[in-house]
Structure formats: structure tokens, C-alpha cells
Structure 1
Amino acid sequence: MPLSSARPAANVSTAEPVSTAELVPVAEPVPVAEPAPVTEHAPIPVPERPSSPAQRDERPLTQPRTVWNGRAPRHLPGAPAAASARRRPTWTQAIAVLFGAAALGVLAGAAVALVRALLSLPFMQDFLAAFPGEYVSPIAVEPGFAPWVGWQHFFNAFLMVLIIRTGLQIRTEKRPTVFWTPRNNPKGKTSLTIWFHQALDILWLVNGVIFVVLLFTTGHWVRIVPTSWEVLPNALSAALQYVSFDWPHENGWNNYNSLQQLAYFVTVFLAAPLAAITGYRMSGLWPKKAERLSKAYPVEWARALHFPVMLYFVAFIIAHVALVMLTGFLRNLNHMYASQDAVTWTGFWVFIASLVVIALGWVAARPLVIAPIAKVFGNVSGR
């Protein structure tokens, strides 16, 4: 019963004990404007409300806890949460995860067995002979990897890891504690995490533009851009061979197989621009007064695409790293980090050093480190 609608009970001499979860009338009439509280044991007279902190401190410590309108005052602990509202035990979640992983393992095993049986058929043997998984490009390109490819690869990986980290933080951050505001736009206040995410995006885009420019000026675009329709049946052949665990021949120093070529092409020329376009639409850099442009490209479209694109990058990175490790570990690392086609440990140690730098960047990506950098470009403030 709300306090505003409670009325004192008349001609009542006794009252039965009541639960703290029920709304009850006052047991005895009292000459006050608001109803008297009811204790958990028996009704008691309502004392005058202390007018000063000193008088409140003089109240007896043994006074029974009162219940106001079915709930305890703020200075007293409330009733414990119901058992039905408690979270499920973690062991049940672990069992569900194990069953899910087992189901995925069974499906993966069935897919491998099915593809191996399919490839053993005569017409599929002829298909593999005609399309081994790669084709010779009609445009000649110098084999190998220049040192700039290794540096670009490292910068891209470093920025991508931090972009994914801050992107996930933005999705889970409910109450930011640190904010960034442009000096010339006080209304453009945003959380420090969003500012850092957007700053990383800009650096990633600059690095990507440099990579594409070098790619076309050196002629190495041929390695990741399909130049023949033969790429499609060869990509299917390579995919079947990967699934069957009878993997296609690896010769990345001279030529990628068709599945790799398509994956790199989609990542560089489709996924990266899509991530940039959707991220720009969601950022504070989008012009607020461009009403027609905003209607033609609603922010809801950008939000619906931006996160799936990030998931694509995560899947690409996992598959990419796995294949690097499983298809000639030392040689592949030498290709990317030492610019040499040899089975030595040089590329491995450079790769380890790059992982240390990425790990340090991951740990340092916190307000204590980011705030001084953000202050150079705007104002940083607390909540």
C-alpha cells in the first residue's frame, strides 16, 4: 500500500505479527501525519524523528528493526535475494560448453570423412588433376617478400589486436569513467575508450593506404588479386584438400594458392573498406548536419554490419595463424619476418619479439597510459 494512501486504523488494541514482505496498517493510532512503522515482532509507538545527527546517535542500539511499507530503510540491510534469482552454477555452464565442443568435434570428423570419401571418386580425382589448387598468373611478378611487407604485416597485426580489444570494450562498457572532449567542440564528449578505438582506426587506415600504394607500385598486387577465372575452381579444390587434411602444395614464396588469394583479396579490398565505412558512420567524425546523407545511410545499417565485419577479421586471424603454424612453421615465419626463403630460426625470434610488443600494447591500453596521449588532442575528464 503506498504511503500516500495509508490510513491509521481505529479501535484496534492488538496486532498480529506480520512479514516484512507485506503491507500492513498501523497497529495503534498515533497523532502523527504519516503511518507508524510495524516491527517484525510487535507494533511499537512511533518515536519522534530526530532533528539532528546527535539525537539520531542517542537512539538505543537494541531497538527492533522496523519495516516501512514493506521495505527496510536505506540504512538497514534489505531482505536477501530470492533463490530463484541466483545465477546458475558455473559447472552446468561448463558441461554445456563441453557438450557443444563435443558436438562440433563430431560434425568436423564427419565432414572430414565425407570429403575424403568424395575425393576418392574417379571424377573428383580428375577434378583435382585439372585444378590442383593454384593457377599460373598471366602477369609475371617477382617472387619473394620485400622487407616493407614484413613491417606492414607487423603494424597491421598490432593495430588489429588493439582495435578488436577496444571494440569489445565498447560493447561491454556500461558506465565509462573517463571521457575525452574536443577542444573546439564541447558537445562532442565521448568516452576515452571510444576515442582510443577511433584513433587506432585512423592509424590502421593510414597503414592500409601505405600498404596498398606499395602493393601496386611494386607489382605485388598480382599475388592477392585474381587475374583469371581459374581462381574459382582452384579455390574450391584447395578448400576440399584442406578439409580432407591432404593439404595442397604450399609455395607462398612464389605464388599463393587460390583459396589464400581470395581470402587476402576479400580482407584487403572488401572487409577493410567495409569496416572503415561503417566505423566512420558510427563515429563522431560523421557530419551531424548532413541530414540527406544520414537518411540515405542510416547509422543502424552501420551498426548491423560493423560487428560482423569484426567477427570476420577474428576468424581470418585465427585461420591465418593456424595455417602458418601447420604448413611449414619456420619457413612461413621467415617469409613474413625475415624476407628469406629458408628454414631457420630468424623469423621465429622476430615473430616472438613482435608478440611481446603486441602483449605490451594490450596491457598498456588503459586510461592511465591513454589519458596523457589523449590530452594532446583534446580534454580528458572524469565522470
Structure 2
Amino acid sequence: MTRPAAPVAASAPPAERVAPAPAPPTPPATPVAASASLPARAEPPAAAPATPAPAPSTPEKPSTFRFGQLTTGQWAGVSVVGVLAIIGAATIVVQLTRWFLGLGFMQDFVAAYPGETPLPEGAPVGLPAWLGWQHFFNVFLIVLIIRSGLRVRSERRPPAYWTPRWSKGGQGRISLTLWFHQSLDLLWFANGLVFVVLLFATGQWMRVVPTSWEVVPNAISALLQYLSLDWPLENGWVNYNSLQVLAYFVTIFIAAPLAAITGVRMSGLWPKGAANLNRAYPVEWARAVHFPVMLYFVGFIVVHVTLVFLTGALRNLNHMYAARDADDWLGFWIFVASLVVIAAAWVAARPSVLAPIAGLFGKVGR
């Protein structure tokens, strides 16, 4: 039985069967692998058509003309819609106010309270020249204060820092923008003190301080007349209407002191180690009040300037800037000159100009 096994090993047919199955099929596998590797290397050229990836960037080009989340076209559309909405709302308010004032009891109310209260005996007539200069200084400073205050809030990397000369170890180091803001605050505070002293020394306080509770219903009457576009009869050279009196009183004797005391609390003038004082007057309270007071001043300025131009611009500007009761153009041109000075100061308030000035009072550096 061992002999038949030998012929099987020597027989040719099995050898023929084994020949087709040898490893030669594996060589074709290597070309396949090579061919597979070639496309892998050649894939970059195939990906070359994908280089139109800049195509997504082309639609994004308009993003360079975006302001916030909207394009310039969208902002224009929003502005038009907003203006139309304001005009529509204002029209409704005017018509409703006129209807309300046409009611019988409201006509009696306006007759009893025409919109102004009589001045005390001995009240001065007219506006002195010092009041016009004070008005200019106040506008000049408050505009720059608002500008620098908004920049302090939005600034991330100050252009430079200011350190007081008497500082030890860099204590009191603040940004150059904050130094400018606080310096303007000090000038504005000094100007306000001079204004209040002159106000009481010359008797002008009687024009801006309520002396009777009748100022309240008269102020309501004046407000309704303004809203109806039937301006209250007034002569600012002699007496302000009651709404003006309340607005000036709040601005001079409430808003301005609030801006000053909250500003001092947040400034380097406040003592750092006074624990009891800091607990009694926390800086968080000052921050919570200071910014809304600034918004009040912005609103006051907008309404004030609007009414100055809508209720007799030439006469009002002569009262405010030329200290005269006339309808000529003198006050207007003084007003224009003051705007040029304010605009020049606005442009000049940059680090290259502020740094040398700040260097006179401390050290300026990065």
C-alpha cells in the first residue's frame, strides 16, 4: 500500500493541477497595489478641481460691507422703516393730544395753567454775558466727556497708560483715555461750581428753581402743548415755561451732582483703603448710576437742541450765545463758531496729542 503512494507523487496530472494555482496570481496583486497607490498620489490633481474652494469666499465678499449683523442695504431698509414708524407714531401722538386738549375739562385746565408760573419779586430780566460763556464751556466739556466716557467703556487695549508722579510702585496707573475722561470731569466740576455761585450771586437762580407747587400742573400743560405741536406762548428772555424750569433744575441740581459723586467714586481720587467708606458707598452702586446719568444728559441735549431750533432758532441762539433779545444772525454765527471749536477738540482728542499733555502731570508709557 505504500507503493501506490509513490506514483501519486510522481504523477504529472497533479502537477498540472497545481500549476494554475501557484503564487503567480499574487504578482498581479502587486500591480493592483501599485495602481491603487498611483491614484492615491494622483488624487491631488483630481482634487484640483476642488480648488474652486475660493468660490465660497466670493459670496462672503459682501461681508466686508456689513455693520453688525446687517449689510448696508439692510441697514438702509431698517432705517427707512424706522423713520416711517417714528413719523407714524408721532402723528398718532399729535392727533391724540390735540383731541385730548379739545375736551372741555382740558380746555379749562390749560386756561388755569397756561404753562408757566410767575417769577418772584426782584427776579432779573434777561440773560447776562457770563451765562452765555458758561453755556459754551458746559457744552464743550460735556460733549468731550460723553465721547471719552463711551471710549473708556468700549476700549480693550488702551493706547497708553498714565501714572501719577507721586505714585509708588505704579499705584494709580490708569489708561490714557480714562485720564482724559477724569481730567475733563474735574474741569466740568470746576465750571459747574462757578456757574452755581454766579447763579445765586446774580439772582438768576429764580429762573431755574421752582418757587411754587404750581410748576407741576403748568409743566404738564406745557408738555401737552408741545406734544400737540401748538407751542406754549413763552418769552425765554423774561421767563422759562414750567417744563423748562423743571428740566433745568433736574439737570443742574440733581443730574450734575450725581454724575460728579459717582465719577469720583470710580476715579483714582477715591481712597483705596477706606473699608468702612467703601462699604457705605460701594463702587457697584456708582457704576449702576453713572451710565444712566450720562444717557440722561444725551437725551437732554437732543431734546434741548431740537426745541431751540423749532421754537425760534435765531432768537433762542441770541439769548444763549449773544446775551441779547433779537432776531438777527449774531447768536447763530457765534453758535457755529462754537461748534467748530468743539469739532476741532473732538478730532484733536487722540493719543498723540493727549500723551504730551498727560506727561506734564505724570508718566505716560505702555
Q: TM-score range by the shorter chain?
A: 0.7 to 0.9
The answer for the alignment partner of 1:298 in structure 2 is 282
Answering whether residue 203 of structure 2 is matched by residue 219 of structure 1, we say yes
Correspondence 1:367 to 2:336: no
Aligned counterparts, 1:93-108, within 5 A: 93-108=75-90
Aligned partner (choices 159, 165, 168) of residue 141 of structure 2: 159
Deviations 1:161-206 (A, max 9, x none): 1001101111111111211111111221111000000000000000
Where does residue 92 of structure 1 map in the other structure?
A: 74
TM-score normalised by structure 1 residue count: 0.77
Matches within 5 A, 1:213-252: 213-252=197-236
Out of 138, 151, 161, the position equivalent to 2:120 is 138
> Does residue 265 of structure 1 match 2:249?
yes
Shift of 1:100: 2.9
CA separation of 1:262/1:88 partners in 2, compared to 1, >3 Å: closer, same or farther?
closer
What fraction of aligned residue pairs are identical, expressed as a percent? 62
- 1:281 aligned counterpart, secondary structure: helix
- Which whole-Å CA distance do the structure 1 matches of 2:350 and 2:125 have between them? 42
Unaligned runs of 5+ in 1: 1-12, 19-39, 43-78
Number of the residue aligned with 1:177: 159
The answer (yes or no) to whether the contact 2:266–2:286 under 8 Å persists in 1 is: yes
Instruction: Provide the TM-score with structure 2 as the length reference.
Output: 0.80
- Structure 1 residue runs of 4 or more that deviate by more than 6 Å after TM superposition: 13-18
What letter is aligned with 2:147?
Answer: R
- Matches of 1:96 and 1:279 in 2, distance apart? 36
Q: Max radius of gyration: which structure?
A: 2
Where do 5+ consecutive residues of structure 2 fail to align? 1-33, 46-55, 64-68
**Residue 96 (structure 1) shift:** 2.9
Please, which moves more after superposition, 283-292 or 256-265? 283-292
Answer whether contact 2:120 2:211 (CA < 8 A) is retained. Answer: yes
Distance in 2 (CA, whole Å) between partners of 1:306 and 1:158 is 20
The Cα offsets for residues 310-329 of structure 1, whole Å up to 9 and x where unpaired, read as: 11101111111111111111
Where do residues 10-89 of structure 1 align in structure 2 (5 Å cutoff)?
Answer: 87-89=69-71
Secondary structure of residue in 1 paired with 2:124: coil
Amino acid at match of 1:243: L
**Distance between the aligned counterparts of 1:90 and 1:290, measured in 2?**
52
Looking at structure 1, the residues matched to 281 and 293 of structure 2 have their Cα atoms a distance apart, in angstroms, of 17
Structure 2 CA distance for partners of 1:92 and 1:142, relative to 1, 3 Å: same
1:112 aligns with 2:94: yes
Q: Residue 179 of structure 1 contacts residue 192 of structure 1 at CA under 8 Å; is this kept in 2?
A: yes
Contact preservation (8 Å) 2:120, 2:206: no
Three-state SS of the structure 1 residue aligned to 2:171 is helix
Q: Residue type matched to 2:265 in 1? A: R
Say if 2:113 and 2:221, in contact at 8 Å, map to a contact too.
yes
SS in 1 for 2:156: coil
1:15 Cα offset (Å): 9.3
Deviates more, 1:297-306 or 1:369-378: 297-306
Quick one: distance in 2 between partners of 1:218 and 1:17?
96
Residues 175, 330 of structure 1: CA spacing in aligned structure 2 closer, same or farther, 3 A cutoff? same
SS in 2 for 1:188: coil
Q: Deviations over 1:97-150 (max 9, x none)?
A: 332332222222111110000111111111111000001123431100111101
